[in-house]
Chain A
Amino acid sequence: MNGVIAGISYRALLGRRRIWLLILLPLVLVAMATLLNLIGAADERTAVTLMRTFAIGTMLPLLGLIAGTGVIAPEIDDGTIIHLLAKPISRPVIAQTKFAVAASMLALFAAVPTFVAAYLLVNLESGIAYGFALGALVGGIAYAAVFMLLGVLTRHAVTIGIVYALVWEGVVGNFVPGARRFSIQQWAQSIADQVSSSPFFSTEITLGFAVPALLIVTVGAVVWSGQRLRGFSLTGDE
Protein backbone atom coordinates (compact mmCIF):
# COMPACT_ATOMS: atom_id res chain seq x y z
CA MET A 1 0.00 0.00 0.00
CA ASN A 2 1.15 3.49 -0.78
CA GLY A 3 -0.69 6.43 0.74
CA VAL A 4 0.19 8.94 -1.94
CA ILE A 5 -1.03 6.67 -4.74
CA ALA A 6 -4.19 5.85 -2.80
CA GLY A 7 -4.87 9.55 -2.26
CA ILE A 8 -4.48 10.39 -5.94
CA SER A 9 -6.61 7.39 -6.92
CA TYR A 10 -9.45 8.40 -4.60
CA ARG A 11 -9.43 11.93 -5.95
CA ALA A 12 -9.36 10.70 -9.54
CA LEU A 13 -12.23 8.31 -8.89
CA LEU A 14 -14.44 10.58 -6.83
CA GLY A 15 -13.63 13.86 -8.49
CA ARG A 16 -15.01 12.99 -11.87
CA ARG A 17 -18.51 12.30 -13.10
CA ARG A 18 -17.84 8.68 -12.22
CA ILE A 19 -18.94 9.43 -8.67
CA TRP A 20 -22.54 9.85 -9.88
CA LEU A 21 -22.46 6.42 -11.43
CA LEU A 22 -21.24 5.03 -8.14
CA ILE A 23 -24.01 6.79 -6.23
CA LEU A 24 -26.85 6.21 -8.68
CA LEU A 25 -27.19 2.44 -8.45
CA PRO A 26 -27.15 2.22 -4.63
CA LEU A 27 -29.68 5.07 -4.57
CA VAL A 28 -31.98 3.09 -6.85
CA LEU A 29 -31.62 0.06 -4.59
CA VAL A 30 -32.46 1.97 -1.44
CA ALA A 31 -35.30 3.79 -3.22
CA MET A 32 -36.79 0.48 -4.35
CA ALA A 33 -36.61 -0.88 -0.81
CA THR A 34 -38.28 2.27 0.52
CA LEU A 35 -41.00 2.05 -2.11
CA LEU A 36 -41.72 -1.62 -1.38
CA ASN A 37 -41.94 -0.70 2.27
CA LEU A 38 -44.42 2.08 1.55
CA ILE A 39 -46.74 -0.08 -0.48
CA GLY A 40 -46.59 -2.78 2.16
CA ALA A 41 -44.87 -5.39 0.01
CA ALA A 42 -41.88 -5.69 2.26
CA ASP A 43 -41.77 -9.37 3.07
CA GLU A 44 -38.90 -11.79 3.24
CA ARG A 45 -39.48 -13.27 -0.19
CA THR A 46 -39.42 -9.84 -1.82
CA ALA A 47 -36.31 -8.91 0.11
CA VAL A 48 -34.46 -12.00 -1.07
CA THR A 49 -35.56 -11.46 -4.66
CA LEU A 50 -34.47 -7.82 -4.65
CA MET A 51 -31.13 -8.69 -3.09
CA ARG A 52 -30.45 -11.56 -5.48
CA THR A 53 -31.48 -9.99 -8.72
CA PHE A 54 -30.71 -6.36 -8.19
CA ALA A 55 -28.19 -5.90 -5.37
CA ILE A 56 -25.95 -8.86 -6.16
CA GLY A 57 -27.10 -9.62 -9.69
CA THR A 58 -27.03 -6.17 -11.28
CA MET A 59 -25.63 -3.48 -9.03
CA LEU A 60 -22.59 -5.36 -7.77
CA PRO A 61 -21.01 -6.26 -11.13
CA LEU A 62 -21.73 -2.81 -12.53
CA LEU A 63 -20.22 -1.04 -9.53
CA GLY A 64 -17.32 -3.46 -9.69
CA LEU A 65 -16.85 -2.48 -13.29
CA ILE A 66 -17.00 1.26 -12.58
CA ALA A 67 -14.67 1.18 -9.58
CA GLY A 68 -12.39 -1.63 -10.77
CA THR A 69 -11.62 -0.20 -14.16
CA GLY A 70 -11.97 3.34 -12.84
CA VAL A 71 -8.95 3.12 -10.55
CA ILE A 72 -6.58 2.43 -13.41
CA ALA A 73 -7.99 2.39 -16.94
CA PRO A 74 -8.42 6.18 -17.43
CA GLU A 75 -4.88 6.79 -16.20
CA ILE A 76 -3.48 4.23 -18.61
CA ASP A 77 -5.60 5.75 -21.37
CA ASP A 78 -4.38 9.31 -20.97
CA GLY A 79 -0.86 8.42 -19.89
CA THR A 80 -1.00 9.96 -16.43
CA ILE A 81 -0.07 6.56 -14.96
CA ILE A 82 3.51 7.32 -16.01
CA HIS A 83 3.70 9.70 -13.08
CA LEU A 84 3.25 6.74 -10.73
CA LEU A 85 5.18 4.16 -12.71
CA ALA A 86 8.32 6.27 -13.21
CA LYS A 87 9.05 6.09 -9.50
CA PRO A 88 11.15 3.71 -7.43
CA ILE A 89 8.06 1.88 -6.24
CA SER A 90 7.45 -1.74 -7.08
CA ARG A 91 4.68 -2.10 -9.61
CA PRO A 92 2.89 -4.85 -7.65
CA VAL A 93 2.59 -2.37 -4.77
CA ILE A 94 0.97 0.10 -7.14
CA ALA A 95 -1.48 -2.62 -8.26
CA GLN A 96 -2.25 -3.59 -4.67
CA THR A 97 -2.90 0.03 -3.73
CA LYS A 98 -5.22 0.56 -6.68
CA PHE A 99 -7.03 -2.64 -5.79
CA ALA A 100 -7.47 -1.56 -2.18
CA VAL A 101 -8.99 1.73 -3.35
CA ALA A 102 -11.43 -0.05 -5.67
CA ALA A 103 -12.32 -2.62 -3.00
CA SER A 104 -13.02 0.11 -0.43
CA MET A 105 -15.29 1.84 -2.95
CA LEU A 106 -17.31 -1.34 -3.31
CA ALA A 107 -17.56 -1.77 0.44
CA LEU A 108 -18.92 1.76 0.69
CA PHE A 109 -21.14 1.91 -2.40
CA ALA A 110 -22.25 -1.75 -2.66
CA ALA A 111 -22.05 -3.55 0.69
CA VAL A 112 -23.36 -0.71 2.87
CA PRO A 113 -26.36 0.15 0.64
CA THR A 114 -27.16 -3.56 0.34
CA PHE A 115 -27.35 -3.78 4.09
CA VAL A 116 -29.45 -0.61 4.32
CA ALA A 117 -31.91 -1.79 1.68
CA ALA A 118 -32.34 -5.22 3.23
CA TYR A 119 -32.71 -3.65 6.66
CA LEU A 120 -35.42 -1.31 5.38
CA LEU A 121 -37.36 -4.29 4.05
CA VAL A 122 -37.06 -6.91 6.77
CA ASN A 123 -34.89 -5.47 9.55
CA LEU A 124 -32.44 -8.15 10.63
CA GLU A 125 -34.87 -10.99 10.02
CA SER A 126 -33.37 -14.35 9.01
CA GLY A 127 -29.93 -12.76 8.70
CA ILE A 128 -30.82 -11.49 5.24
CA ALA A 129 -29.30 -8.05 5.73
CA TYR A 130 -26.04 -9.34 7.21
CA GLY A 131 -25.82 -12.19 4.72
CA PHE A 132 -26.26 -10.14 1.59
CA ALA A 133 -24.07 -7.33 2.91
CA LEU A 134 -21.27 -9.84 3.46
CA GLY A 135 -21.92 -11.42 0.08
CA ALA A 136 -21.81 -8.00 -1.58
CA LEU A 137 -18.59 -7.20 0.25
CA VAL A 138 -16.64 -10.30 -0.77
CA GLY A 139 -18.18 -10.39 -4.23
CA GLY A 140 -17.39 -6.70 -4.64
CA ILE A 141 -13.79 -7.25 -3.63
CA ALA A 142 -13.44 -10.02 -6.21
CA TYR A 143 -15.08 -7.88 -8.90
CA ALA A 144 -12.76 -4.99 -8.04
CA ALA A 145 -9.75 -7.21 -8.61
CA VAL A 146 -11.05 -8.79 -11.82
CA PHE A 147 -12.12 -5.52 -13.41
CA MET A 148 -8.90 -3.80 -12.39
CA LEU A 149 -7.02 -6.59 -14.14
CA LEU A 150 -9.23 -6.07 -17.18
CA GLY A 151 -8.36 -2.37 -17.10
CA VAL A 152 -4.67 -3.23 -17.09
CA LEU A 153 -4.95 -5.86 -19.81
CA THR A 154 -7.00 -4.04 -22.40
CA ARG A 155 -7.99 -0.59 -23.51
CA HIS A 156 -11.51 -1.86 -24.10
CA ALA A 157 -11.98 -2.82 -20.47
CA VAL A 158 -15.35 -1.11 -20.06
CA THR A 159 -16.90 -2.70 -23.15
CA ILE A 160 -15.60 -6.15 -22.34
CA GLY A 161 -16.55 -5.66 -18.70
CA ILE A 162 -20.14 -4.77 -19.57
CA VAL A 163 -20.47 -7.76 -21.85
CA TYR A 164 -19.02 -9.97 -19.13
CA ALA A 165 -21.20 -8.52 -16.38
CA LEU A 166 -24.42 -8.66 -18.36
CA VAL A 167 -23.98 -11.69 -20.59
CA TRP A 168 -21.91 -14.06 -18.53
CA GLU A 169 -22.90 -13.12 -15.04
CA GLY A 170 -26.43 -12.04 -15.91
CA VAL A 171 -27.69 -14.47 -18.52
CA VAL A 172 -25.37 -17.45 -18.70
CA GLY A 173 -24.87 -17.58 -14.96
CA ASN A 174 -28.61 -17.61 -14.38
CA PHE A 175 -29.65 -20.06 -17.06
CA VAL A 176 -26.74 -22.39 -17.68
CA PRO A 177 -26.27 -24.47 -14.55
CA GLY A 178 -22.65 -25.43 -15.25
CA ALA A 179 -21.60 -21.84 -15.76
CA ARG A 180 -22.92 -20.91 -12.35
CA ARG A 181 -19.92 -22.43 -10.73
CA PHE A 182 -17.76 -19.83 -12.46
CA SER A 183 -19.66 -16.71 -11.61
CA ILE A 184 -18.58 -14.25 -8.93
CA GLN A 185 -22.14 -13.31 -8.08
CA GLN A 186 -23.05 -16.95 -7.52
CA TRP A 187 -20.12 -17.25 -5.11
CA ALA A 188 -21.26 -14.07 -3.39
CA GLN A 189 -24.71 -15.58 -3.03
CA SER A 190 -23.43 -18.73 -1.40
CA ILE A 191 -21.60 -16.58 1.14
CA ALA A 192 -24.85 -14.71 1.77
CA ASP A 193 -26.70 -18.00 2.06
CA GLN A 194 -24.34 -19.16 4.79
CA VAL A 195 -25.26 -16.24 6.99
CA SER A 196 -28.93 -16.08 6.11
CA SER A 197 -31.36 -18.66 7.37
CA SER A 198 -34.19 -17.55 5.14
CA PRO A 199 -36.28 -20.40 3.68
CA PHE A 200 -36.77 -18.35 0.51
CA PHE A 201 -33.09 -18.37 -0.27
CA SER A 202 -30.96 -21.30 -1.26
CA THR A 203 -27.92 -21.62 -3.44
CA GLU A 204 -26.40 -24.65 -5.07
CA ILE A 205 -22.74 -23.74 -4.90
CA THR A 206 -21.09 -24.97 -1.75
CA LEU A 207 -19.04 -22.76 0.49
CA GLY A 208 -16.18 -25.20 -0.02
CA PHE A 209 -16.08 -24.16 -3.65
CA ALA A 210 -17.08 -20.51 -3.38
CA VAL A 211 -14.52 -19.41 -0.77
CA PRO A 212 -11.40 -20.83 -2.46
CA ALA A 213 -12.72 -19.64 -5.82
CA LEU A 214 -13.17 -16.08 -4.53
CA LEU A 215 -9.72 -16.13 -2.96
CA ILE A 216 -7.97 -17.49 -6.01
CA VAL A 217 -9.70 -15.10 -8.39
CA THR A 218 -9.07 -12.06 -6.21
CA VAL A 219 -5.45 -12.77 -5.34
CA GLY A 220 -4.72 -14.03 -8.83
CA ALA A 221 -6.14 -10.92 -10.48
CA VAL A 222 -4.19 -8.56 -8.20
CA VAL A 223 -0.92 -10.45 -8.69
CA TRP A 224 -1.43 -10.63 -12.45
CA SER A 225 -2.18 -6.90 -12.57
CA GLY A 226 1.09 -6.20 -10.77
CA GLN A 227 3.00 -8.37 -13.21
CA ARG A 228 1.38 -6.67 -16.18
CA LEU A 229 2.30 -3.27 -14.77
CA ARG A 230 5.91 -4.40 -14.44
CA GLY A 231 5.91 -4.85 -18.18
CA PHE A 232 3.93 -1.70 -18.90
CA SER A 233 4.90 -0.35 -22.31
CA LEU A 234 4.47 3.01 -23.86
CA THR A 235 3.89 2.47 -27.51
CA GLY A 236 4.69 5.82 -29.04
CA ASP A 237 2.21 7.69 -31.13
CA GLU A 238 4.64 7.80 -33.99
Chain B
Amino acid sequence: MRIELAQVSRWYGNVVAVNDITMTVGPGVTGLLGPNGAGKSTLLHMMAGFLAPSGGTVTLDGDRIWRNHQIYRSIGLVPEREAVYGFLTGWQFVLSSAKLHRLPDPEDAAGKALALVEMESAKDRRIETYSKGMRQRVKVAAALVHDPQVLLLDEPFNGMDPRQRLHLMDLVATMGAAGKTILFSSHILEEVERVAQHIEVLVAGRHAASGDFREIRRRMTDRPHLFRVRSSDDRRLASALIADASSGAVSLTETGLEVQAVDFRRFTRLLPRVARDADVRVWQVSPADEDLESVFSYLINRSS
Protein backbone atom coordinates (compact mmCIF):
# COMPACT_ATOMS: atom_id res chain seq x y z
CA MET B 1 0.00 0.00 0.00
CA ARG B 2 1.10 3.55 -0.59
CA ILE B 3 0.68 6.72 1.36
CA GLU B 4 0.69 9.68 -0.95
CA LEU B 5 1.23 13.25 0.13
CA ALA B 6 0.49 15.89 -2.44
CA GLN B 7 1.60 19.45 -1.70
CA VAL B 8 0.86 18.98 1.95
CA SER B 9 1.22 21.92 4.29
CA ARG B 10 0.24 22.38 7.88
CA TRP B 11 0.34 25.59 9.81
CA TYR B 12 -0.62 26.59 13.30
CA GLY B 13 -1.64 30.22 13.20
CA ASN B 14 1.31 31.97 11.67
CA VAL B 15 3.72 29.14 12.25
CA VAL B 16 4.31 26.81 9.34
CA ALA B 17 5.09 23.34 10.67
CA VAL B 18 5.09 21.51 7.36
CA ASN B 19 5.64 23.32 4.09
CA ASP B 20 4.45 22.04 0.71
CA ILE B 21 5.59 18.43 0.88
CA THR B 22 4.99 15.92 -1.87
CA MET B 23 6.16 12.38 -1.28
CA THR B 24 5.09 8.79 -1.67
CA VAL B 25 5.74 6.20 0.98
CA GLY B 26 5.65 2.75 -0.56
CA PRO B 27 6.43 -0.81 0.53
CA GLY B 28 9.68 -1.25 2.42
CA VAL B 29 11.12 0.75 5.27
CA THR B 30 11.22 4.51 4.97
CA GLY B 31 13.00 6.64 7.53
CA LEU B 32 11.71 10.12 8.19
CA LEU B 33 14.82 11.93 9.31
CA GLY B 34 15.16 15.41 10.67
CA PRO B 35 16.25 17.41 13.69
CA ASN B 36 13.84 17.98 16.55
CA GLY B 37 11.14 20.45 15.62
CA ALA B 38 11.46 19.80 11.90
CA GLY B 39 7.82 18.79 11.59
CA LYS B 40 8.30 15.02 11.58
CA SER B 41 5.54 14.36 14.09
CA THR B 42 3.21 16.78 12.33
CA LEU B 43 3.77 14.96 9.05
CA LEU B 44 3.38 11.55 10.67
CA HIS B 45 0.17 12.62 12.42
CA MET B 46 -1.27 13.67 9.08
CA MET B 47 -0.37 10.26 7.62
CA ALA B 48 -2.01 8.58 10.61
CA GLY B 49 -5.27 10.51 10.39
CA PHE B 50 -4.67 12.51 13.53
CA LEU B 51 -4.22 15.88 11.94
CA ALA B 52 -5.88 17.59 9.00
CA PRO B 53 -3.55 19.06 6.41
CA SER B 54 -4.01 22.82 6.09
CA GLY B 55 -3.35 22.40 2.38
CA GLY B 56 -2.85 19.48 0.02
CA THR B 57 -4.03 15.89 0.35
CA VAL B 58 -2.90 12.81 2.22
CA THR B 59 -4.24 9.53 0.89
CA LEU B 60 -3.76 5.82 1.41
CA ASP B 61 -4.08 3.98 -1.91
CA GLY B 62 -6.27 6.83 -3.11
CA ASP B 63 -8.50 6.98 -0.02
CA ARG B 64 -8.48 10.15 2.02
CA ILE B 65 -6.96 9.52 5.43
CA TRP B 66 -8.40 12.40 7.46
CA ARG B 67 -11.76 11.63 9.11
CA ASN B 68 -11.75 8.10 7.77
CA HIS B 69 -11.64 5.46 10.50
CA GLN B 70 -11.64 2.63 7.96
CA ILE B 71 -7.97 3.29 7.23
CA TYR B 72 -7.07 1.74 10.58
CA ARG B 73 -7.84 -1.67 9.12
CA SER B 74 -4.62 -1.22 7.16
CA ILE B 75 -2.64 1.11 9.41
CA GLY B 76 -0.90 0.36 12.66
CA LEU B 77 0.26 3.39 14.63
CA VAL B 78 2.89 3.58 17.35
CA PRO B 79 2.60 7.07 18.81
CA GLU B 80 5.55 8.78 20.42
CA ARG B 81 3.96 9.53 23.77
CA GLU B 82 4.49 6.59 26.03
CA ALA B 83 1.19 6.91 27.85
CA VAL B 84 -0.78 3.68 27.79
CA TYR B 85 -3.44 2.41 30.14
CA GLY B 86 -1.18 1.66 33.09
CA PHE B 87 -3.82 -0.34 34.95
CA LEU B 88 -4.01 -2.94 32.18
CA THR B 89 -1.53 -5.75 31.87
CA GLY B 90 0.42 -6.02 28.65
CA TRP B 91 -1.75 -8.96 27.68
CA GLN B 92 -5.01 -7.10 28.36
CA PHE B 93 -3.78 -4.09 26.42
CA VAL B 94 -2.82 -6.03 23.30
CA LEU B 95 -5.91 -8.21 23.57
CA SER B 96 -8.10 -5.11 23.75
CA SER B 97 -6.45 -3.91 20.58
CA ALA B 98 -7.21 -7.23 18.87
CA LYS B 99 -10.82 -7.08 20.01
CA LEU B 100 -11.23 -3.48 18.90
CA HIS B 101 -10.12 -4.65 15.46
CA ARG B 102 -12.76 -7.38 15.68
CA LEU B 103 -10.26 -10.08 14.80
CA PRO B 104 -11.71 -13.58 14.50
CA ASP B 105 -9.31 -15.01 17.10
CA PRO B 106 -8.17 -12.12 19.29
CA GLU B 107 -6.35 -14.31 21.86
CA ASP B 108 -4.26 -15.95 19.17
CA ALA B 109 -3.45 -12.61 17.52
CA ALA B 110 -2.52 -10.98 20.83
CA GLY B 111 -0.28 -13.93 21.74
CA LYS B 112 1.52 -13.75 18.40
CA ALA B 113 1.99 -9.98 18.60
CA LEU B 114 3.45 -10.22 22.10
CA ALA B 115 5.77 -13.00 20.97
CA LEU B 116 6.93 -10.85 18.08
CA VAL B 117 8.17 -8.14 20.45
CA GLU B 118 9.46 -10.66 23.02
CA MET B 119 7.12 -9.53 25.74
CA GLU B 120 5.59 -12.89 26.64
CA SER B 121 7.35 -13.19 29.99
CA ALA B 122 6.10 -9.81 31.24
CA LYS B 123 2.66 -9.91 29.67
CA ASP B 124 0.80 -10.49 32.93
CA ARG B 125 2.28 -7.50 34.70
CA ARG B 126 0.55 -4.15 34.74
CA ILE B 127 1.90 -1.74 32.16
CA GLU B 128 2.61 0.87 34.87
CA THR B 129 5.35 -1.43 36.17
CA TYR B 130 7.05 -1.56 32.76
CA SER B 131 10.23 0.22 31.77
CA LYS B 132 10.09 2.72 28.94
CA GLY B 133 11.43 0.19 26.48
CA MET B 134 8.89 -2.41 27.54
CA ARG B 135 6.05 0.08 27.11
CA GLN B 136 7.37 0.87 23.69
CA ARG B 137 7.37 -2.81 22.77
CA VAL B 138 3.89 -3.44 24.08
CA LYS B 139 2.68 -0.45 22.04
CA VAL B 140 4.32 -1.96 18.98
CA ALA B 141 2.56 -5.27 19.72
CA ALA B 142 -0.79 -3.49 19.99
CA ALA B 143 -0.16 -1.74 16.69
CA LEU B 144 0.85 -4.99 14.97
CA VAL B 145 -1.92 -7.18 16.31
CA HIS B 146 -4.06 -6.96 13.16
CA ASP B 147 -1.06 -7.55 10.89
CA PRO B 148 -1.41 -4.16 9.17
CA GLN B 149 -0.05 -3.46 5.72
CA VAL B 150 1.13 -0.06 6.88
CA LEU B 151 3.01 0.67 10.07
CA LEU B 152 3.75 4.19 11.27
CA LEU B 153 6.15 4.67 14.17
CA ASP B 154 6.96 8.00 15.80
CA GLU B 155 10.49 7.96 17.25
CA PRO B 156 10.14 4.26 18.06
CA PHE B 157 13.66 3.63 19.33
CA ASN B 158 13.67 6.37 21.94
CA GLY B 159 14.18 5.09 25.44
CA MET B 160 15.07 1.57 24.45
CA ASP B 161 18.22 -0.12 25.60
CA PRO B 162 20.64 -1.21 22.86
CA ARG B 163 19.48 -4.81 22.81
CA GLN B 164 15.79 -3.89 22.58
CA ARG B 165 16.65 -1.34 19.95
CA LEU B 166 18.42 -3.90 17.78
CA HIS B 167 15.57 -6.30 18.21
CA LEU B 168 12.97 -3.77 17.12
CA MET B 169 15.19 -2.67 14.24
CA ASP B 170 15.41 -6.26 13.04
CA LEU B 171 11.66 -6.65 13.39
CA VAL B 172 11.03 -3.50 11.37
CA ALA B 173 13.53 -4.55 8.72
CA THR B 174 11.97 -8.02 8.43
CA MET B 175 8.51 -6.58 8.02
CA GLY B 176 9.76 -4.14 5.42
CA ALA B 177 11.41 -6.96 3.51
CA ALA B 178 8.07 -8.79 3.60
CA GLY B 179 6.52 -5.99 1.59
CA LYS B 180 4.86 -3.95 4.31
CA THR B 181 4.86 -0.19 4.10
CA ILE B 182 6.73 1.09 7.11
CA LEU B 183 7.59 4.64 8.01
CA PHE B 184 9.39 5.68 11.14
CA SER B 185 10.64 9.03 12.28
CA SER B 186 13.96 9.65 13.93
CA HIS B 187 16.43 12.41 14.52
CA ILE B 188 19.34 9.97 14.63
CA LEU B 189 21.02 9.29 11.32
CA GLU B 190 22.55 6.00 12.41
CA GLU B 191 19.14 4.56 13.33
CA VAL B 192 17.67 5.48 10.00
CA GLU B 193 20.70 4.27 8.12
CA ARG B 194 20.56 0.91 9.79
CA VAL B 195 16.95 0.07 9.03
CA ALA B 196 15.63 2.19 6.22
CA GLN B 197 16.18 1.55 2.54
CA HIS B 198 14.68 4.87 1.76
CA ILE B 199 15.11 8.17 3.56
CA GLU B 200 13.05 11.32 3.56
CA VAL B 201 14.80 14.24 5.19
CA LEU B 202 12.75 17.00 6.75
CA VAL B 203 14.29 20.26 7.90
CA ALA B 204 12.34 23.21 9.27
CA GLY B 205 9.12 21.84 7.80
CA ARG B 206 10.56 21.44 4.33
CA HIS B 207 11.38 18.37 2.34
CA ALA B 208 15.15 18.62 2.19
CA ALA B 209 16.15 15.38 0.54
CA SER B 210 14.72 12.10 -0.55
CA GLY B 211 16.27 8.91 -1.72
CA ASP B 212 18.36 5.90 -1.01
CA PHE B 213 20.26 6.17 2.25
CA ARG B 214 23.65 5.71 0.57
CA GLU B 215 22.89 8.61 -1.71
CA ILE B 216 21.94 10.82 1.21
CA ARG B 217 24.87 9.64 3.24
CA ARG B 218 27.20 10.53 0.37
CA ARG B 219 25.67 13.96 0.03
CA MET B 220 26.07 14.49 3.72
CA THR B 221 29.70 13.41 3.65
CA ASP B 222 30.57 15.36 0.54
CA ARG B 223 29.53 18.68 1.90
CA PRO B 224 32.26 21.13 2.89
CA HIS B 225 33.52 20.31 6.38
CA LEU B 226 34.99 22.68 8.87
CA PHE B 227 37.84 21.33 10.98
CA ARG B 228 39.76 22.81 13.85
CA VAL B 229 43.36 21.72 13.83
CA ARG B 230 45.96 22.34 16.51
CA SER B 231 49.56 21.61 15.74
CA SER B 232 53.14 22.45 16.64
CA ASP B 233 53.36 25.00 13.82
CA ASP B 234 49.99 26.24 12.64
CA ARG B 235 51.30 28.72 10.12
CA ARG B 236 53.48 26.27 8.29
CA LEU B 237 50.72 23.67 8.24
CA ALA B 238 48.28 26.28 6.90
CA SER B 239 50.46 27.12 3.96
CA ALA B 240 50.99 23.45 3.17
CA LEU B 241 47.24 22.74 3.34
CA ILE B 242 46.13 25.62 1.17
CA ALA B 243 48.46 24.46 -1.57
CA ASP B 244 46.13 21.49 -2.12
CA ALA B 245 42.76 21.77 -3.83
CA SER B 246 40.96 19.87 -1.08
CA SER B 247 41.09 22.86 1.25
CA GLY B 248 38.91 25.81 0.34
CA ALA B 249 40.01 28.18 3.06
CA VAL B 250 42.36 28.13 5.98
CA SER B 251 42.37 30.68 8.72
CA LEU B 252 44.73 31.15 11.61
CA THR B 253 43.07 31.77 14.93
CA GLU B 254 44.19 32.11 18.51
CA THR B 255 43.20 28.55 19.24
CA GLY B 256 44.54 26.94 16.10
CA LEU B 257 43.68 26.51 12.46
CA GLU B 258 40.22 26.50 10.96
CA VAL B 259 40.21 24.57 7.73
CA GLN B 260 37.35 24.49 5.28
CA ALA B 261 37.63 21.15 3.52
CA VAL B 262 35.79 21.01 0.22
CA ASP B 263 36.66 17.41 -0.54
CA PHE B 264 36.21 15.50 2.67
CA ARG B 265 37.86 12.23 1.64
CA ARG B 266 40.83 13.83 0.02
CA PHE B 267 41.37 16.19 2.91
CA THR B 268 41.35 13.45 5.53
CA ARG B 269 43.99 11.56 3.59
CA LEU B 270 45.98 14.68 2.87
CA LEU B 271 46.28 16.18 6.33
CA PRO B 272 48.57 13.59 7.94
CA ARG B 273 50.76 13.39 4.87
CA VAL B 274 51.15 17.14 4.57
CA ALA B 275 51.90 17.44 8.26
CA ARG B 276 54.57 14.77 8.06
CA ASP B 277 56.18 16.29 4.98
CA ALA B 278 56.20 19.75 6.55
CA ASP B 279 57.57 18.29 9.76
CA VAL B 280 54.64 19.60 11.78
CA ARG B 281 53.23 17.66 14.70
CA VAL B 282 49.42 17.57 14.68
CA TRP B 283 47.95 17.62 18.19
CA GLN B 284 44.28 17.77 17.57
CA VAL B 285 41.83 17.52 14.69
CA SER B 286 38.19 18.11 15.48
CA PRO B 287 35.19 18.61 13.24
CA ALA B 288 33.59 21.96 14.00
CA ASP B 289 30.24 21.37 12.40
CA GLU B 290 29.46 17.69 12.72
CA ASP B 291 26.11 18.17 14.43
CA LEU B 292 23.04 17.13 12.51
CA GLU B 293 21.70 20.66 12.35
CA SER B 294 24.55 21.83 10.17
CA VAL B 295 24.36 18.72 8.03
CA PHE B 296 20.67 19.33 7.53
CA SER B 297 21.03 23.01 6.86
CA TYR B 298 23.57 22.18 4.22
CA LEU B 299 21.10 19.84 2.56
CA ILE B 300 18.42 22.49 2.69
CA ASN B 301 20.63 25.12 1.09
CA ARG B 302 21.69 22.67 -1.53
CA SER B 303 18.15 21.66 -2.43
CA SER B 304 16.85 25.19 -2.72
Question: Nearest B residue to A231 by beta-carbon distance?
Answer: B67
Contact code string B6-24 (vs A, CB < 8 Å = 1, else 0):
0000001000010000000
Instruction: Return the CB mask of B83-104 against A: 1 if under 8 Å, else 0.
Output: 1110110000100110111100
B70 contacts chain A at the CB level, 8 A cutoff:
yes
Chain A CB within 8 A of B75 CB? yes
Q: What residues of chain A lie closer than 8 Å to B72, measured between beta carbons?
A: 86-88
CB-CB < 8 A to A18: which residues of B?
A: none
B268 close to A (CB within 8 Å):
no
Question: Taking the complex as formed, is B81 at the interface, i.e. its CB lies under 8 A from any CB of chain A?
Answer: yes
Q: If the complex has contacts A4-B99, A78-B83, A80-B83, are A235 and B69 also in contact, measured as CB distance less than 8 A? A: no
B12→A235 contact, CB < 8 A:
yes
The reply to whether A88 and B101 form a contact with Cβ atoms under 8 Å apart is yes
A78 touching B69 in the complex, CB below 8 Å, given contacts A234-B50, A236-B42: no
Q: Is B81 in contact with A84, judged by CB distance below 8 angstroms?
A: no
Is B84's CB under 8 angstroms from A80's CB?
A: yes
Task: A13 to B101: give the CA distance in the assembly, Å.
Answer: 23
Contacting residues, chain A, for B49 (C-beta < 8 A): 86
Contact A89-B67, Cβ < 8 Å, known A233-B50, A234-B51, A235-B51: no
A8-B96, A231-B67, A236-B42 as given contacts; A86 in contact with B48, CB under 8 Å: yes
Contact: A4 with B81, CB < 8 Å? no
Is A79 part of the contact surface with B, judged by Cβ < 8 Å? yes
Contact check, A89 vs B100: say whether CB atoms are below 8 A apart.
Answer: yes
The listed residue with most B CB atoms (<10 A of its CB), out of A15, A83, A90, A231, is A83
- Segment 220-238 of A: residues with Cβ below 8 Å from B: 230-238
Q: Binary interface profile of A, 163-178, with partner B (CB < 8 Å = 1, else 0)?
A: 0000000000000000
Please report the total number of B residues contacting A with Cβ < 8 Å: 39
In B59-75, which residues have CB < 8 Å from any A CB? 67, 69-73, 75
Any B CB within 8 A of the CB of A98? no
Q: Determine if A88 and B70 form an interchain contact, defined as CB atoms under 8 angstroms apart.
A: yes
- B69 cross-chain contacts in A, Cβ below 8 A: 87-91, 230
In angstroms, Cα B100 to Cα A82, docked, is 12
* Neighbour of B41 across the interface among A7, A15, A91, A238, CB < 8 A: A238
- Is B52 an interface residue, CB under 8 A from the partner? yes
In the complex, whether A205 has a CB less than 8 A from a CB of chain B is no
Closest Cβ of chain B to A155, distance in Å, is 15
CA distance A234 to B17 in the complex (A): 13
Pair B41/A82 contact, Cβ less than 8 Å: no
Q: Is B39 on the interface with A (CB-CB < 8 A)?
A: yes
**Cα–Cα, bound, A173→B192 (Å):** 61
B272 on interface, CB distance cutoff 8 Å: no
Q: Which residue of B lies closest to A237 (CB)?
A: B41
Q: Are A86 and B77 in contact (CB under 8 A)?
A: yes
Contact flag A11-B67 (CB < 8 Å), given A84-B100, A233-B50, A237-B41: no
- Measuring CB to CB, which residues of chain A are less than 8 angstroms from any residue of chain B? 2, 4-5, 7-8, 11-12, 15, 78-80, 82-91, 230-238
Nearest 7 A/B pairs, CB to CB: A236-B41, A78-B83, A234-B50, A79-B81, A87-B100, A88-B72, A4-B99
**Chain B residues engaging chain A, CB cutoff 8 angstroms:** 12, 17, 36-42, 45, 48-52, 67, 69-73, 75, 77, 79, 81, 83-85, 87-88, 93, 96-97, 99-102, 142-143
13 A/B residue pairs, CB under 8 Å, sorted by A: A4-B99, A11-B88, A12-B87, A82-B77, A82-B81, A86-B50, A86-B75, A87-B101, A88-B71, A231-B67, A233-B51, A234-B79, A238-B36
Extra contacts, 17 of them, besides A82-B50, A83-B84 (Cβ < 8 A), are A4-B99, A8-B85, A11-B87, A78-B83, A80-B84, A83-B85, A83-B142, A85-B50, A87-B72, A87-B100, A231-B67, A232-B50, A235-B12, A236-B41, A236-B42, A238-B17, A238-B42
